[in-house]
C-alpha cells in the first residue's frame, strides 16, 4: 500500500473561456520511505499537484488516497487531523505565522497535536539547529532573511511523527550549501519511513529523489528509471 496515491486526478480552475486545466489525469504513487521529485516548467501544475496531495484542495475528478484511505471519504475532522498530524507541508511562500517566533512556528504543529509545550520546543530547537539557524530561534519571521524563513518552514514540516512530507520549491531562497542541508534533512526523514514529494525547478535538488517525475501542461510526461548503482560512474573510462 502506498503512503500517497493519486488516481486519475484532474483539476480545472474557473469555467467557460477562463477555464484552466491545471492537472490532467495524473496518476502518482509514493511508497513510505521514498522521495519523489516533481519537475516541470512554471505553470505546469506542480503546486496544484502538491496542494491536492496534501488535501488542501479537492480534485475536479479522480481521487487521493493517504495510507490507502480515500481522502474524499473522510469526515471534515479526520481530514483536518490528517493535515495537522500526518502531513508536513512546505509552502512555496513559506506561510509562517507572523506573531510567532521561529521556534514557536516549528513547535506549533506538535503542540496542536497534544505534545507538551516544553517537549515541542526541544524538538523545534533541534530541527532549527540541524538547519544551522538555532541562533534565530527567538526571531519573528519578519526579522529573518528569505533563506532563514525557508528553513524555518522546512523545520516545521519535518518535526514530529509525519507520514508524508510535501515541499514546494524547498530550496528556492537558499544557496547551494543550505539547499543541501535542507535536502539531507528531507532524506533523513524519508529514511525514517516518511514518504516525500518535493516540487522543484532545481535539477540538483531533484537528483536526491528516488524518482523524478516530469510534468508538462498538467500531465506527467516522463519519469526517471530507478538508477543503477553509482559504481557505474567510477568504472574506468566512464568519465573523461
Partner 1 sequence: MSVRHALLALLSEGPKYGLQLRQEFEARTGEVWPLNVGQVYTTLRRLERDGLVESDDDGTEEGPQRGFHITPEGEAELATWLRTPPDMTSPPRDELVIKVLVALALPGVDVRDVVQVHRRYVVELMQQWTRLKEDAPEHDVGFLLVVDAELFRLDSVIRWLDAADGRLARLAADAKDAPEPAPAPSLSPRLRRRVGMRR
Residues 75-94 that bind ligand ATP (CB under 6 A): 92
The count of chain residues that interact with ligand ATP, using the rule CB under 6 A, is: 13
Q: Does 40 bind ligand ATP (CB under 6 A)?
A: yes
Residues 31-50 that bind Mg ion (CB under 5 A): 47
Q: Does 222 bind partner 1 (CB under 8 A)?
A: yes
Q: Which residues, 6+ apart, have CB-to-CB distance to 152 below 8 Å?
A: 94, 96, 102, 105, 106, 128, 133, 136, 141, 144
Q: Does 17 bind partner 1 (CB under 8 A)?
A: no
Tally: H helices and E strands in the chain: 8, 10
29, 106, 126, 229 from 6: Cα distances, Å: 6, 28, 33, 29
d(CA 237, CA 240) in angstroms, rounded, equals 6
Q: Does 204 bind partner 1 (CB under 8 A)?
A: yes
- State the minimum distance, in angstroms, from the CB of residue 200 to ligand ATP: 9
CB contact at 8 A, 45 and 215: yes
Q: Which of 193, 136, 134, 124 is nearest to 164 (CA)?
A: 193
Q: Which residues, 6+ apart, have CB-to-CB distance to 179 below 8 Å?
A: 170, 171, 202, 204, 205
Q: Does 221 bind partner 1 (CB under 8 A)?
A: yes
Cα diameter, the chain: 59
Binding mask 45-74 for ligand ATP (x = CB under 6 A): xxxx--------------------------
Out of 16, 17, 19, 42, name the contact with ligand ATP by CB under 6 A: 42
- Is the CB of 63 or the CB of 132 nearer to partner 1? 132
- Is the CB of 137 or the CB of 215 nearer to partner 1? 215
Instruction: Tell me the backbone φ, ψ of residue 173, rounded to 5 degrees.
Output: -105, 15
Find which of ligand ATP, Mg ion, partner 1, none residue 20 binds, CB within 5 to 8 Å per kind.
ligand ATP
| Cell numbers 508538462: residue | 216
Strands of 14-138 (E only): list them.
Answer: 20-30, 35-39, 61-66, 69-70, 87-90
Q: Does 102 bind ligand ATP (CB under 6 A)?
A: no
- Is the CB of 192 or the CB of 216 nearer to ligand ATP? 216
Binding site for partner 1 (CB under 8 A): 39, 41, 184, 187, 201-204, 206-209, 212, 214, 216, 221-225, 227-228, 230, 232-234, 236, 239
Binding site for ligand ATP (CB under 6 A): 13-14, 20, 22, 40, 42-48, 92
Binding site for Mg ion (CB under 5 A): 47
Amino acid at each position: 500500500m502506498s503512503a500517497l496515491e493519486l488516481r486519475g486526478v484532474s483539476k480545472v480552475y474557473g469555467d467557460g473561456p477562463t477555464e484552466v486545466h491545471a492537472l490532467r489525469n495524473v496518476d502518482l504513487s509514493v511508497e513510505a520511505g521514498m522521495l519523489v521529485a516533481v519537475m516541470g516548467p512554471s505553470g505546469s501544475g506542480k503546486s496544484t499537484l502538491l496542494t491536492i496531495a496534501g488535501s488542501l484542495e479537492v480534485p475536479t475528478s479522480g481521487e487521493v488516497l493517504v495510507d490507502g484511505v480515500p481522502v474524499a471519504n473522510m469526515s471534515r475532522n479526520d481530514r483536518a487531523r490528517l493535515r495537522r498530524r500526518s502531513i508536513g507541508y512546505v509552502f512555496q511562500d513559506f506561510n509562517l505565522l507572523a506573531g510567532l517566533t521561529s521556534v514557536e512556528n516549528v513547535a506549533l504543529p506538535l503542540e496542536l497535536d497534544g505534545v507538551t509545550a516544553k517537549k515541542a520546543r526541544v524538538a523545534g530547537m533541534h530541527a532549527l539547529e540541524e538547519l544551522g539557524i538555532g541562533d534565530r530561534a527567538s526571531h519573528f519571521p519578519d526579522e529573518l532573511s528569505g533563506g532563514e524563513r525557508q528553513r524555518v518552514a522546512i523545520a516545521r514540516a519535518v518535526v514530529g511523527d509525519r507520514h508524508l512530507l510535501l515541499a514546494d520549491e524547498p530550496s528556492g531562497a537558499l544557496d547551494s550549501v543550505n539547499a543541501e542541508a535542507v535536502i539531507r534533512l528531507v532524506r533523513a526523514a524519508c529514511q525514517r519511513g516518511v514518504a516525500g514529494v518535493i516540487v522543484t525547478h532545481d535539477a540538483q535538488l531533484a537528483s536526491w529523489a528516488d524518482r523524478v517525475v516530469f510534468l508538462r501542461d498538467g500531465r506527467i510526461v516522463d519519469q526517471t528509471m530507478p538508477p543503477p548503482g553509482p559504481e557505474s560512474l567510477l568504472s574506468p573510462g566512464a568519465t573523461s
